[in-house]
C-alpha cells in the first residue's frame, strides 16, 4: 500500500540568492544570478537519484523506498511503498510525467518501472548474485538504455534494454577490458555513466591504482578504456560524468573521505574522451554530480557545496556551502537533492 505526502515550497527554511561572476572562454565577463531555494522534506531520506524531464516535471529517488515527483515545478509528492522500505534507489530515469524507472544500489539490485505516475510499479530486473552492486544507468533514447554494476570476476557487469526498461539483458563480457585490483564504480548520484549521441557510452571508475574511463561507441558491443589523471586509490576516482556535445566532456569526483581536497577532482576532454586534462581552477573539494544546462552553464555539487562553471569545466566558482548529492538543470531551472532536503535552482 502506498502512502502519499505532499511537501510544498512554502515549507522552505530559507532562500539563498547568489550573484556569481563567471569567466567565459572568450575572456569576457558574464554576470549570472543563481537563486538556490532549499526545501526540507519533513522526514529522513537520502535522495541521490534525480532526473528532470522539463521545467515542470522532475523525479527523485532515495532511501527507504521514497520516490518523489514534482508535476508543476514547485510542489513535491512523496510516494512510499512497503515493497521498497529496505531499498536505496540511487538512480532514476524518467520518460514523462507518468513514466519512470528506478534502480536500487547495495547488495543486489532491483529495478522497477511505473507507467501511471507511481500508482503502480512493476519489477523489471532483479539480481541477487554475490558481488552485485549497481552504480548507475542512462538511456540514449526512450527505448535503449544501459546500466552497470561493480565488477564480477574482474569485469564490469553491464545490462542493456531495448524496450524502455521493460526487460533487461546481460551484456556479453567478451570485449569488456578487465578491471584493476580495487577498481569499481561509484553510486553517489547514479551519474558515473553517461550516454552520448545515438550509440556512445562512457563509464567512469575509481578505487584502483588508476582512475579510468570505459568507452563504447556501439552500445556496448565493443569497449576501450582510457587512463586519466583523476585522483586514484581507495574512495577516489570519477563519481560523475557528462558530455555537452560529442567532443567536450567533464568528469568530476575526488575522494569523499578527504572531501575538501581539490587535487584530481575534475578533468575535461575536447576530443571525445581520447585524452583528458585537469581543470585549471577546479571546484571546491569532492563532488558527486555534475550537470549541464544546455546553454553553457555547468553545476556541480557534493559534500562541500555547489560550484558553477561557464567554460566547459576549466574553471569553477564556489557559490554555496550547502551539501547535496545530485543536481540537474535545463535552461534556467534545475534541482538539487540531498539529505532530508531538495533545492530549486533558478538562473536569472
The predicted-structure confidence for 33-49, as pLDDT tens digits, reads as follows: 889 999 998 888 999 99
pLDDT class of 25 with cuts at 50, 70, 90: very low
Quickly count: other Cβ atoms within 10 Å of residue 38's Cβ.
18
DSSP track, 76-116: EEEEEEGGGTT-EEEEEEESSSS-EEEEEESSSEEEEEESS
pLDDT at 140 over 60: yes
Say whether pLDDT at 173 is over 60.
yes
Mean pLDDT of 282-293: 98
Which grid coordinates are listed for 286?
569532492
pLDDT confidence of residue 117: 92
b or e along 144-167 (b: 16 or more beta carbons within 10 Å of the residue's beta carbon)? bbbbbbbbbeebbbbbbbeebbee
Closest CA to 189 of 228, 245, 120, 240: 240
pLDDT band at 174 (very low <50, low <70, confident <90, very high): confident
Is 70 exceeded by the pLDDT of residue 29?
Answer: no
Q: What is the mean pLDDT of the chain?
A: 91
1-10, 176-185, 226-235: least confident range: 1-10
Query: In the predicted model, what is the mean pLDDT of residues 278-290?
Result: 98
In this model, does residue 348 exceed pLDDT 90?
Answer: no
The pairs formed by 266-274 with CB atoms below 8 angstroms and a separation of 24 or more are 266/300, 266/313, 266/316, 267/228, 267/229, 267/230, 268/312, 268/313, 268/314, 271/247, 272/200, 272/246, 272/247, 273/202, 273/213, 273/215, 273/226, 273/249, 274/226
Domain boundaries, the chain: 2-347
The tens digit of pLDDT for each residue in 58-112 reads 999 999 888 998 888 888 889 988 889 899 999 999 999 999 999 999 999 999 9
Nearest to 233 by CA among 202, 213, 255, 248: 255
**pTM of the prediction?**
0.93
| Lowest mean per-residue pLDDT among 62-71, 96-105, 153-162, 255-264 | 62-71
Q: What confidence score (pLDDT) does residue 3 get?
A: 56
Q: State how beta strands 67-70 and 29-40 pair.
A: unpaired
Residue 90: per-residue pLDDT: 98
**CATH code for 2-347?**
2.130.10.10
Helix, strand, coil share (%) of the chain residues, nearest 5 = 5, 50, 45
pLDDT tens-place string over residues 326-341:
999 999 999 999 999 9
Backbone angles phi, psi at 83, to 5 degrees: -65, -25
pLDDT of residue 11: 41
Neighbours of 218 (CB within 10 A): 12
Amino acid at each position: 500500500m502506498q502512502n502519499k505526502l505532499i511537501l510544498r515550497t512554502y515549507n522552505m527554511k530559507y532562500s539563498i540568492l547568489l550573484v556569481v561572476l563567471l569567466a567565459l572562454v572568450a575572456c569576457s565577463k558574464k554576470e549570472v544570478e543563481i537563486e538556490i531555494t532549499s526545501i526540507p522534506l519533513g522526514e529522513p531520506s537520502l535522495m541521490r537519484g534525480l532526473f528532470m524531464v522539463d521545467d515542470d516535471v522532475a523525479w527523485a529517488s532515495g532511501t527507504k523506498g521514497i520516490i518523489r515527483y514534482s508535476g508543476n515545478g514547485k510542489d513535491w509528492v512523496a510516494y512510499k511503498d512497503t515493497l521498497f522500505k529496505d531499498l536505496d534507489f540511487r538512480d532514476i530515469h524518467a520518460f514523462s510525467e507518468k513514466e519512470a524507472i528506478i534502480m536500487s544500489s547495495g547488495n543486489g539490485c532491483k529495478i522497477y518501472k511505473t507507467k501511471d505516475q507511481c500508482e503502480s510499479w512493476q519489477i523489471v530486473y532483479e539480481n541477487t548474485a554475490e558481488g552485485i552492486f549497481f552504480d548507475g544507468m542512462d538511456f540514449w533514447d526512450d527505448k535503449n538504455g544501459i546500466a552497470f554494476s561493480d565488477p564480477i570476476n574482474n569485469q564490469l557487469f553491464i545490462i542493456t534494454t531495448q524496450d524502455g526498461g521493460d526487460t533487461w539483458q546481460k551484456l556479453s563480457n567478451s570485449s569488456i577490458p578487465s578491471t584493476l585490483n580495487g577498481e569499481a564504480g561509484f553510486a553517489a548520484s547514479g551519474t558515473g555513466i553517461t550516454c552520448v549521441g545515438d550509440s556512445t557510452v562512457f563509464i567512469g571508475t575509481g578505487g584502483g591504482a588508476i582512475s579510468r574511463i570505459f568507452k563504447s561507441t556501439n552500445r556496448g558491443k565493443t569497449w576501450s578504456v582510457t587512463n586519466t589523471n583523476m585522483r586514484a586509490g581507495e574512495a577516489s576516482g570519477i563519481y560523475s560524468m557528462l558530455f555537452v556535445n560529442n567532443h567536450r566532456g567533464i568528469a568530476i569526483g575526488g575522494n569523499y573521505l578527504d572531501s575538501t581536497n581539490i587535487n584530481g577532482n575534475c578533468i575535461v576532454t575536447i576530443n571525445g574522451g581520447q585524452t583528458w586534462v585537469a581543470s585549471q581552477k577546479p571546484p571546491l573539494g569532492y563532488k558527486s554530480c555534475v550537470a549541464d544546462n544546455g546553454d553553457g552553464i555547468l553545476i556541480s555539487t557534493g559534500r562541500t557545496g555547489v560550484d558553477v562553471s561557464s567554460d566547459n569545466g576549466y574553471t569553477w566558482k564556489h557559490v554555496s556551502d550547502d551539501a547535496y548529492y545530485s543536481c540537474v538543470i535545463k535552461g534556467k531551472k534545475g534541482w538539487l537533492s540531498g539529505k532530508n532536503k531538495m533545492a530549486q535552482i533558478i538562473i536569472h
